[in-house]
Amino acid sequence: MSSELSPIDKAKFVAAKQASSYVEDGMKVGLGSGSTAAWLVKCLGERVEKEGLKIKGVPTSSRTAALAREVGIEVISLDEAKWLDLTIDGADEYDGNLNLIKGGGGSLLQEKIVATASDQMIVIADASKQVETLGTFPLPIEVIPFGWQTTKTLVEETLIGMDVLGRKVTLRMNGDAPFYTDEGNHILDMHLNRIGNARQLSLIVNQIPGVVENGLFIDICDVVIIGFGDGRVESR
């Protein structure tokens, strides 16, 4: 599976491969979204096919659900699973405390619900995702379409006086049209450059009417597995 990969894909693959070894027979596993998580789903599919691994997967997006089914993983809903042994997902940024920015692919809501309903969350990433302070990657927030422009104004006003370096907020687009999440919501991307107090920002943003959830994952991730282009893997 790993032959002739670019260094970035090799890094994602080796992290995913290592994380897949944490999955044991009978586990209920949250399956993340994005390109790194897609490698994980493929690695697990290979174990299902070659080793007869028996797991139930709870996908965090319609795209992951389709891929999981394609590679032979039994897919169940979170409500069927009730609680998960493990979730493995990618991230857009992680810091030294293993706090994350997620949602670059627009799946942060399902990702956060699923990760929170798991005994353990493992993040898989290439080394470029490591940051000293969160915020270089625009922080996504999921908002309901009703009155989204008013919600955006309220978000911008809330940022005044907060420990951030930028305050630009943009509606995520899909070509000429607004992007829609799997839940039928929009995404506002917050261009903050630096998030001085991620816990505080997360709590305050989620108080704003119209905001469904934000992409800060605070105290949710237990381990980050970092892959490198030369095939090395490290854990934090």
**Residues taking part in catalysis:** 111
Distance CA 60, CA 182 (A): 9
Q: Closest separation between CB of residue 106 and ligand 5RP, Å?
A: 6
Q: Compose the 59-98 pattern: x for residues touching ligand 5RP by CB under 6 A, - for all others.
A: ------------------------------xxxx------
**204 burial level (CB within 10 Å; 0-12, 13-18, 19+):** middle
Q: Closest separation between CB of residue 84 and ligand 5RP, Å?
A: 17
Query: Is 104 flagged in the annotation as binding?
Result: yes
Residue with tokens 């854990």: 235
Q: Considering beta carbons, is residue 41 or 81 the nearer one to ligand 5RP?
A: 41
Distance CA 133, CA 88 (A): 23
Query: Is 150 flagged in the annotation as binding?
Result: no
CA distances from 182 to 3, 65, 109 (A): 33, 12, 9
Phi and psi at residue 36, to the nearest 5°:
-70, -45
Q: Compose the 95-114 pattern: x for residues touching ligand 5RP by CB under 6 A, - for all others.
A: -------xxxxxxx--x---
How many secondary structure helices (H) and strands (E) does the chain include? 7, 16
Residues of span 123-162 touching ligand 5RP by CB under 6 A: none
Q: Closest separation between CB of residue 115 and ligand 5RP, Å?
A: 10
* Under rule CB under 6 A, residue 189 binds ligand 5RP: no
CA distances from 58 to 47, 83, 146 (A): 17, 10, 29
Q: How many residues does the chain have?
A: 236
Residue 192 · residue 166 · CB < 8 Å: yes
Q: Considering beta carbons, is residue 33 or 202 the nearer one to ligand 5RP?
A: 33
The number of residues that bind ligand 5RP (CB under 6 A) is: 18
Known binding positions for substrate = 33-36, 89-92, 102-105, 129
Residues within the interface to ligand 5RP (CB under 6 A): 32-37, 89-92, 102-108, 111
Annotated binding site: 33-36, 89-92, 102-105, 129
